[in-house]
Amino acid sequence: MSSGTTHLQDTPDDFIWLEEIKGETAVDWAIQQSKQTRREFAESERFEAVRDDVLDCLNASTQIPGVRKCGNLFYNFWQDEKNPRGLLRRTTFESYRSDAPEWETVLDIDALGEAEGQSWVYYGIQVLAPDYQHALLHLSPDGGDASAIREFDLSALTFVEDGFILPAAKSRVSWIDRDRLFVATDFGQDSMTTSGYPRIAKIWQRGTPLEQAETQFVVEPNDMSVMVFHDDTQGFERNFVGRVIDFYHREVFLLDEEQGLLAIDVPQDAKFSTWRDWLLVSPASDWQVNGETYPSGSLLVTDFSDFMAGGRQFTSLFTPWATTTLDNYSMTRDYLILSVMDNVVNRLDVLKPEGGLWTRAGLGDAPDLSKISASGIDDETNEFFMTVTGFLQPTSLYYGILGEENGRPAEIIKQAPGYFDASAYQVAQNFVISDDGTQVPYFVISAKNIALDGSNPTLLYGYGGFEISLDPYYLGVTGPAWLERGGVFVIANIRGGGEYGPRWHQSALKEKRLRAYEDFSSVAKDLIARKITSPAHLAAQGGSNGGLLVGNMLTRYPELFGAIICEVPLLDMQRYTQISAGASWIAEYGDPQKADEWAYIQAFSPYHNIDPLKIYPPVLFSTATSDDRVGPGHARKMAAKMQQLGIEDVYFYENTEGGHSAAADKAQNAFKRALVSEFLWRYIADK
């Protein structure tokens, strides 16, 4: 059969009307379903107690405020009970490291929403260096990805009258200087890709209407998006534009004022970044260049100017092995900090270029099966923050300075509180052999005195896509909401993720997708074989791509589970490219409009694999009306179809706000977590 595009006749779909995000009939259906789910699980004293406990954890004033340095001040976005939509605030470093920092409010998002009659959700800030006076504030009207952008004066603490302003859209912007912006937004007809992202990059001059912005680059309608970026490192300022062809391929150009567009000649599937004099490249597939072959997942460095002049002499800073991968890297002024994972547990290496060579040393230490990370505070100093955390270990924040002369060893400056008594619990890392013989790791967090009799309520969580790794993190909310209630928590590091680099991800792409689901089901079977749990007491949970994962557990392995939590999911894989931003994920799943690709996609499309003759575990679908990334139509349709077929214990809950996170503030987050906890407790614990 030809691989050319074929406009397939969609399988008859009685529920396509539920894809209309704000359609009156669809929204009314979602409201009625959500009310029923609330009545079932959210109207008891136990629910209220769990929700209140979770909310207390989320609102705790003793949490470590994450900060970002802008000039001499450190900025933080903070939400609590008094400020549910949050405060953008700032302080000095000396104040920040004290036990009781003195914060100056930059913008009160709750007050802004009340004054403007709009429940704004804060979506970030872009500050112009080096004066750090002007900023671009991103504000979403409903928590979705589309956000309004408004210029803000950080000295006067007011919005700039007649400043740069864009209405809500999935825009891409970057400061060039005080009076110019890179802007890619919805310019009107034919300005957006089929994925719903901008395809035109322009430079917008202050004081001129947006319509007069000068076009710099245009991508194809079927590309994912145009990209724009200004590197503001002093002395190394550079402008970049390019095509994001799909999630894993791009063509990038240096925008030179004299020579125009100059291609960054690296493989389309390579990740790259600039750091002062240097170009850093990490290829996703083996790369042959200048007589050398560099393996997938390596990190290479070369002089940027030499590379643009045609030089191809690289130094390899990291080479992966069977169990190792480069998790990420960060920079200070003079140092490069690498985070290297080995069997999903990481370490830190510090590198420095000296005399044509790169020196290397370790940084920090962490307990077994925990997570250590570090990042440069800015690009003007060698200061860094380092965090250490683990499933049972609250986060510790360290501050240090790299360097032999003026260096300072990392010292702890903040300690997050513990929300439960961790001494009663243990962490183990197990490995299981999947269907094709691949070894798959997973973490188990349980009571030390766990009885291996198959009776423990166990929640198995996974994702398995887009090269995203599931690392150790503190179970601050999961502790009181699940562990202290007698539950076991499991994280599966299945293929499709990035736990072993690009190869781990690529081994579950497109026609290989079922490998991820075989891995997850193999973990479930291993938990049962070890008598940690049993099918009646085992639940699976996942969101987004993880929602597709547990949707396949529901339809392919229903006998393994006693309950399924399916959040903001993809489920209709025949129409996913026509729903919200779905077309942007063809590189991950394949194109269902091509007959030969739909042939394998259909095997992992839960919406098309519901069998009315099978017995399914209870399932809770959750989503948000404002999710403009995946779209609520997937969850709505799946729940409606299962209910129409007479399948019992199918529940649906839709929040209006929050976008793809399905929660616009901490109160909504606490409600969602308590709802899940009560659903699970009814079906896998109260037995």
State the residue for tokens 């009207």: 141
Please tell me the number of Cα atoms within 13 Å of 249 on its side-chain side.
11
pLDDT above 90 coverage of the chain, percent: 96
What is the mean predicted confidence (pLDDT) over 648-665? 95
- Percent of the chain at pLDDT > 70 equals 98
pLDDT in tens, 150-207: 999 999 999 999 999 999 999 999 999 999 999 999 999 999 999 999 999 999 999 9
Domains of the chain: residue spans and CATH: 23-55+426-685 (3.40.50.1820), 276-314 (no CATH), 320-417 (no CATH)
pLDDT band at 7 (very low <50, low <70, confident <90, very high): very low
User: Which is it for strands 538-543 and 488-492: parallel, antiparallel or unpaired?
Assistant: unpaired
Most distant CA pair in the chain, distance: 73
| Helix H or strand E encompassing 340 | strand 336-342
How does residue 590 score in pLDDT terms, banded at 50, 70 and 90? very high
Q: Which of 140, 282, 370, 544 is catalytic?
A: 544
544 catalytic? Reply is yes
φ and ψ at residue 52, rounded to 5 degrees = -65, -40
Residues 330, 537, 660, 661: which is the catalytic one? 660
Whether the CB-CB separation of 593 and 8 falls below 8 Å is answered with yes
Question: 3-class SS at 668?
Answer: helix
- A 10 A CB-CB count for 219 gives 24
Task: Provide mean pLDDT across the span 309-315.
Answer: 97
pLDDT for the residue numbered 687: 66
Q: Of 365, 298, 362, 312, nearest to 335 (Cα)?
A: 362
pLDDT of res. 686: 77
Residue 8 has pLDDT above 60, yes or no: no
Q: What is the mean pLDDT of residues 78-88?
A: 97
Residue range 594-598: mean pLDDT, rounded: 97
Q: What residue type is 656 in one-letter code? A: T
Closest C-alpha among 640, 642, 653 to residue 617: 642
Residue 660 known to be catalytic: yes
Beta strand 345-354 with 324-331 is unpaired
CA distances from 424 to 49, 369, 447, 452, 485 (A): 22, 17, 6, 16, 12
